[in-house]
Structure 1
């Protein structure tokens, strides 16, 4: 994810990755359900 280096810090990248992991780990999430259908 080095392409985001110039405008995203390591903290933002870590938060984004954690958020994505939570979405994919939560089957009840509306976003995950909508993408699966």
Structure 2
């Protein structure tokens, strides 16, 4: 089983971060500011 674990190294934690970045887009500007400037 040790050999199988050593032969399974092509699974780096790179895909998770990429997915998180696509799932967490840049937060848009808060609308309360625009509403406050527009009395």
Bin for the TM-score computed over the shorter chain: 0.3 to 0.5
- The structure with the largest helix share of the pair is 1
**Whose radius of gyration is greater, 1 or 2?**
2
Compare relative contact order (CA 8 Å, sep 6+) and give the higher one, 1 or 2.
1
TM-score (norm 2): 0.36
